[in-house]
Structure 1
Amino acid sequence: MRKLSYTLFILWVSFVCPSCHNLGKTDSQTLPTELFSDGDLAFRRGTGFMSRIVVAADKNGTYSHVGILKKMEGEWHVIHAVPGEPEFKGDPDRVKIEPLTRFFSPERAVCGEIVRWGKDSLAAARAAQTALLMVQRGILFDHDYNLSDSSQMYCTELIEFAYRKEGIDLSEGRITHMDLPVVRGTYLLPSDLLLNKHLKTIYDFP
């Protein structure tokens, strides 16, 4: 019975999974970078199977991953906690910083959105600085998805943590309970953040 449930779940993810507008890819060179600010949030729907699981299981969501923008040496970067994207052999899953063009590359994103905390731009910029500190400290990815322990972090946990340092509660207490064949537990999903009414869209694609 468990094997049958798992098989049905895989079929459901493959064929019923909610989609971005038309699953188009972005040309990263066309990003309107002049519109962006430190602390803006970058949401994306990934290309992998786990991304499909997250989106399929999230009744409110389009996206499977999120990071925070920080301008470094004249180029926009994204700070995010991510598994399975090593930069070199032996690179552990961790909080990392990479160019926005790579974060939104066709190999990693089928759609995406940049949103802004609309109430305090200085607080948002400080949140980005807090996230950068997590990179510098070498914080590892939280494979246990434990929100009560900040010694390791997953993507939404990092964003929630950085903004909460500024007294901003992005999730407003929202949290998602999953009970699926391959995913069981309580998680802070991208949609739990994106539903905050004080976030406004700066750019999205496709």
Structure 2
Amino acid sequence: MIKKCLLLSFGILFTLVAVFLFYFLNNHNSVEIPKNLHLKNGDLILRSGTSTESYVVILADSKTEFSHIGIISIENNTPYVIHAVPHKNHFIKKDKLEDFLSPENASKYAIYRANLKEDILEKVTIEAETYYQKKYTFDTDYDLKTNTKLYCTELVLKAYQNSGIPLKINPKEFNYILGKQFIILPSEFTNHPFFNKIN
């Protein structure tokens, strides 16, 4: 029992120190968005966030430097990002690209694109838009069985799968201080042969 208490105390202390260092050492300069960046519907955008939750994801996912992912939707030549993130009202969000990549939200980013026809990627975007329009919420339980509650990588996976694209992505065991959870980490997309980095 004493051993478990000591391990738990050490885990909490380590996490607090790591978060402290993250906040004070992380570079919060503006992310530059190239003017010649030609985004398309269905593109994946990943960012390295500036929140505590983002840092925990990066600690857990050693295969990537990104903690969050969304789907690009182009409307009247303006790029938006549809994504699931914990926030005040919990609904799926649709933010303008510059807001998604603001200094408060991102320290770096990358764009990945699937080698698919535009009409197929349009279906992916419409599917993600449906989650936003129907006011699906952020899945605080990280449960892949629920379809009206989604977390960021789950939103991307289901938008592709429900559009007829058989992405085979397996959740990984995520260990944290208070227990274990099987979740889909961002590296499952960045390392997937289906997607290529374009920026």
TM-score computed with the length of structure 1 as normaliser = 0.84
Distance 1:160 1:147, change over 3 A: same
Matched residue, 1:186 = 182
1:119-130 equivalences under 5 Å are: 119-130=116-127
C-alpha distance after superposition, 1:65-116 (max 9, x if no partner): 11001111221100011112x4xxxxx1111111011101111001101110
Instruction: Identify unmatched segments of 5+ residues in structure 1.
Output: 87-91
CA distance in 2, matches of 1:64, 1:3: 26
Stretches of structure 2 that go unaligned for 5 or more consecutive residues are 1-5
Q: Give the aligned partner of residue 116 of structure 1.
A: 113
Q: Which residue of 1 aligns with 2:17?
A: 11
Picking from 41, 45, 66, the partner of 1:42 is 45
Shift of 1:59: 1.8
2-side partners of 1:186 and 1:41: how far apart? Answer: 22
CA contact (8 A) 1:6 1:182 kept: no
Number of residue pairs matched by the alignment: 192
Note the 1:83-102 alignment, pairs <5 A.
83-84=86-87, 86=88, 92-102=89-99
What amino acid does structure 1 have at the position aligned with 2:49?
G
The structural deviation recorded for 1:131 is 0.4
Residue 198 of structure 2: SS of its match in structure 1?
Answer: strand
Taking every aligned residue pair, what percent have the same amino acid on both sides? 27
Greater relative CO, 1 or 2 (CA 8 Å, sep 6+): 1
Verify: 1:152 aligned to 2:123, yes or no: no
TM-score (norm 2): 0.87
2:102 corresponds to which letter in structure 1? S
Give the root-mean-square deviation of aligned CA atoms.
Answer: 2.3
Task: Tell me, yes or no, if structure 1 residue 32 matches structure 2 residue 28.
Answer: no
Deviations 1:105-139 (A, max 9, x none): 11100110111011333212210111001111010
Deviation of 1:57 (Å): 1.0
